[in-house]
A = this chain, B = another copy of it.
Amino acid sequence: MTVPAPLVRRLAVVGAGLIGGSLCLAARSRGLAQRVAVIERDAAALAEASRRGLAHEASADPGAARGADLVVLAVPVGAMGEAAAAVAPHLAEGTVVTDVGSVKGAVLAAVVPALPFPARFVPGHPIAGRERSGAAAADADLFEGALVVLTPEPRTDPACATAVRALWAGAGGRVLTMDAAEHDRVFAAVSHLPHVVAYALVGALLDLEADQGPLVRFSAGGLRDFTRIAQSDPIMWRDICLANREPLLKSLARFRHVLGALEAQIAAGDAAGLLQALARAREARRGMSS
């Protein structure tokens, strides 16, 4: 019996948050890399990364990326350009770079100008968010069964895309490829819109509570789901909203239109129209993968 060779000799992950920290753990526990370095400039997060032993090396210094075969940028979308610029001087000609941002167009625009070899950058997005965030929540099995979308550009070196694909497949992900603009339209609708709606709903409840007294303590199933979603990291979601502004505003406009139609049916007492509108939602269940 032979032990499979690790996919990568040296892996460097920039950002010890939920995604970056989980990828470090997955890489170590699944033998995806011989050596893993995590780079984190926040002192508390760095200390937590060290405490949990996320990587062989935990450092605040972007120079820890030196010698890496594969660098993963795992910081909030709004910090990607800066993170790329910080590691850029330490990249070798053969280093593959990828990211985990939830928006791809804006990340491409921010990261590509910062990198010495843009053809070796493979944009990626593991769909594995949780409401808990940070190194403390990192989990070696976070990506087991998760969808991971890669959005290579025409200029992207196919060998680099293959390396990134192998990393995520090794971590348990189901990897697929999409166009970056298509990715941003899809996730504006299925992820960014629901998050903004959940934040708005919880905000409205807090406003109503200020007016009319206790509400949240009476919450039942429905509200709990919204409240949980709205616990997601506000910095990460601020960045996503701003980086994917146009597709998100388009999805929001459609949502407001549909909500307005329901509201008008309720106001008018249109029982038949309202029933038809509510029953329609059952169609969506059929399209879900699980």
Binding site for B on A (CB under 8 A): 78, 127-130, 147, 149, 185-187, 189-191, 193-209, 212, 214-231, 234-235, 237-238, 241-242, 245, 248-249, 251-252, 254-259, 262-263, 266-267, 269, 271, 274-275, 277-285, 287-289
Contacts of A222 in B (CB 8 A): 129, 191, 194-195, 198, 229
The 5 A-B pairs at the shortest CB distance, nearest first, are namely: A230-B281, A234-B278, A216-B287, A200-B259, A225-B225
Q: CA of A205 to CA of B212 in the docked complex: distance in angstroms?
A: 33
> Which of A199, A214, A231 has the most C-beta atoms of chain B within 10 angstroms of its own C-beta?
A199
Across the interface, A287 reaches (CB within 8 A) one of B204, B217, B254, B283, namely B217
Contact between chains at A223 and B249 (CB < 8 Å) = no
Contact between chains at B281 and A231 (CB < 8 Å) = yes
Across the interface, A190 reaches (CB within 8 A) one of B219, B237, B289, namely B219
Contact between chains at A197 and B190 (CB < 8 Å) = no
Across the interface, A147 reaches (CB within 8 A) one of B195, B196, B220, B284, namely B220
Q: Is the interface of A mostly helix, strand, loop or mixed?
A: helix
Contacts of A129 in B (CB 8 A): 220-222
Apart from the given pairs A190-B216, A190-B223, A230-B278, 17 other A-B contacts in the complex at a CB distance below 8 Å? A78-B271, A129-B222, A189-B204, A190-B219, A190-B220, A193-B201, A198-B222, A199-B277, A199-B281, A204-B258, A206-B283, A207-B257, A209-B287, A225-B226, A230-B282, A234-B275, A252-B259
Copies of this chain, count: 2
Contact between chains at A220 and B281 (CB < 8 Å) = no
Contact between chains at B195 and A288 (CB < 8 Å) = no
Nearest-neighbour CB distance to chain B for A275, whole angstroms, equals 5
Contact between chains at A279 and B234 (CB < 8 Å) = yes
Contacts of A203 in B (CB 8 A): 258, 262, 277, 280-281
